[in-house]
Amino acid sequence: MRDLALYLANQDNKTQCRRLFMPTMENDFPPDWETSKAQVVSIHTGAMQDTDWPKMEFPEVEALVLYFTASEYCIPTFLHTMKNLKVLIIHNNDGVKRSKLSGVAGFQELSQLKTLHLEKVTVPQECKVLKSLEKIHMILCEGLGRDKTIDFPELLEFNVDYYIDLEELPAGLCSSISLKTLSVTHCHRLARLPDELDKLGSLKEIRLCESLGLETVPSSICGLKKLRLLDISSCIHLKLSWGDRCKLKDTLQTLTKRTSLKRVICDEKNEWLFKPSSRTDLKVQAVKEKESNLDWLDWEGRKLEF
C-alpha cells in the first residue's frame, strides 16, 4: 500500500501535487514542501524537537501521517495551521516502547478532525477532549486510565487493542451517546466495564476478545436496545463462582431476548448461557478455548517496560 501511495504521488503534477510522501526516514525536508496544496502528507523521521521542524504550511491537508522512530517526539509546529485536517495517524516504530509526545497544544485547533489513530505512544491529555472525533484507534498505547474528562460527543467508533495499562474504561466514555462500535481487545488488565453502559443507546457492536482480566459484564448491558453483536471470546476469567453465576446467566439471557441482537461469539464453556434462547435468528458462535500467553510483551526480544 505504501508503494502504491508513492507511485500515485509521483504521478501528480509537481506544481499541483496532492500527495507528499517521505519514502524513507529523513530529517531534511524537500524545499518545495514549504508551501504546498497537498491533501495527503506522510512524514517519516527520527526524533524531532520543536526547533527541528521547518516552517511549512499545509492549508489544504486532510490526512496527515506522522511515522517516526523515537522515545520522544514533538508534534509538528505547523499542525495548528491545518484547518481542514480530518485524519491524523501517529505511529511510533520504536519497538514496543511507547513514545512521549510533546507540542500537542495544536490539537485544540483541529476542529475538523474526524479520525485519530495512535500507535505505541503515551496518550496526551489534549487527545481526550477532541469534540469533533468520530473514530479513535489506539494500539499498544498507555495513559488512558479512568479519566472522567474524556469528551467525545460525536464519537462513532472506539477501538483499543493491546492497551498496556487499561484496567477500566474511562467513565467519560459513557457520554458518547452516538457511539456505535466499542472494541476493546487483547487488553489483559481490563477488569470491568462501566456500570452506566446503557447510556450508550446507539451501540451496535461490543467486542471484548481476549480481555483476560474481565470477570463479569454489568447488568446495564441489557439496556442496549440496538446491540447487534457481542464478542466475549477468549475472556478466560468470565466464569463466576456459584454465588454470582445466576446473576451473569440472568443478564446474558435477558440480553438474548433483544431482537436487535443477531450474533454472539463466546467460548465453548459459556455457550450454555445462550442455549435457552428460543430465537432461531440468533447466531451463537462458540470458539475453542486456546492457550493464552503474553508473548507480545516480549515482542522482538525486548522486554516491555512498565
Which residues fall within 8 angstroms of residue 182, CB to CB, at 6 or more apart? Answer: 158, 200, 203, 205, 206, 207
Q: How confident is the model at residue 276 (pLDDT cuts 50, 70, 90)?
A: low
Measured in residues, the chain has a length of 306
Mean pLDDT of the chain: 83
Q: How large is the C-alpha radius of gyration of the chain?
A: 22
Span 144-290: which CATH code? 3.80.10.10
Q: For domain 1-132, is the CATH number 1.10.357?
A: no
User: What is the value of pTM for the model shown?
Assistant: 0.85
- Structural domain boundaries of the chain? 1-132, 144-290
Report pLDDT digits (tens) over 46-91: 889 988 888 888 888 999 999 999 999 999 988 888 889 999 999 9
Report pLDDT digits (tens) over 88-136: 999 998 876 899 999 888 787 888 999 999 999 999 888 877 889 999 9
pLDDT at 303 over 50: no
Lowest mean pLDDT among 24-38, 83-97, 135-149: 24-38
What distances in angstroms separate CA 167 from CA 16, 47, 123, 171, one per listed residue? 48, 30, 15, 12
Q: How confident is the model at residue 236 (pLDDT cuts 50, 70, 90)?
A: confident
What distances in angstroms separate CA 278 from CA 228, 251, 256, one per listed residue? 17, 16, 9
Distance of CA 138 to the CA centre of its chain: 3
CA distance 248 to 197: 16
